[in-house]
Chains A and B, each alone.
Chain A
């Protein structure tokens, strides 16, 4: 099946630093989504991207849909302790279909 490669697997940063993570795929997706998951909770949708080249922001978060449709990245600016968690990318080939998830990026923020 399709695989999404998400990197880095983990990051330990200082509060106030910017963070960047990305996902690459061997296949094309028509939608990219980014989720955050806290321990013991369900994934929470952060940003959805629908067009190649699209750049979308949600507060301190910015995500882009790669031109090739095979990649996406997420940036978090000026990180704060509550940004701690696991961030997942997910690709969707067609609207309404299943999501294929990356392996996640575990973010740790040092105050």
Chain B
């Protein structure tokens, strides 16, 4: 158990809909990262928040947005869903290890768009 929690575990929804994925980082971790894992694109970085502020953006679509709340949990909002958005979505959080920032991943949310 990494200490990172994600809900829900599975989500099935229709095209055009909007969903929210939730992540709680490890205790004490200030950074939260969102990644998407699909069969054709592999694991891709979407966005990072640090202590409530957006820190970096990757290949995140404009239909997707995220935020990090004062209690450090984060939500990833996916709107106007398309079939191609079906994927595993992972949240990771980081703490400073002996030499750097190691990222620990949650169990993921499997999103199926029908």
Q: Are B107 and A98 in touch, CB under 8 angstroms?
A: no
Query: Which residues of chain B (76-105) have a CB below 8 Å from chain A?
Result: 90, 92, 94, 96-97, 99-105
Tally of contact residues, B, Cβ under 8 A: 31
Report if A97-B56 is in contact (Cβ < 8 Å); known contacts: A31-B100, A42-B107.
yes
Q: Which candidate, A13-21, A68-76, A100-108, is the interface stretch facing chain B? A: A100-108
Q: When the two chains form their complex, are residues B107 and A96 in contact, meaning their CB atoms are under 8 A apart?
A: no
B103 partner, pick from A1, A45, A50, A51, beta carbons under 8 A: A45
B interface, over-half SS: strand
CB distance from B14 to the nearest CB of A (A): 23
**Which one of A1, A96, A100, A104 lies within 8 Å of B50 (CB-CB)?**
A96
Interface of A is mostly: loop
Interface residue? A33 (CB, 8 A): yes
B25 near A: Cβ within 8 Å? no
Given contacts A43-B90, A44-B2, contact A99 B106 (CB under 8 A): no
Number of A-B contacts (CB under 8 A): 68
Q: How far is the CB of B55 from chain A (nearest CB, A)?
A: 8
> A residues within 8 A CB of B2?
42, 44-45
Q: Is B22 an interface residue (CB 8 A)?
A: no
Instruction: Known A96-B31, A96-B94, A98-B56; judge A103-B42 contact (CB<8 A).
Output: yes
Residues of A within 8 A of B58 (CB): 98
Contact bitstring A18-43, B, C-beta under 8 A = 1, else 0: 00000000000011010100001111
Report B's interface with A, CB cutoff 8 A: 2, 4, 31, 33, 35, 42-45, 48, 50, 55-56, 58-59, 90, 92, 94, 96-97, 99-108, 110
Binding site for B on A (CB under 8 A): 1, 30-31, 33, 35, 40-45, 48, 50-51, 88, 90, 92, 95-104
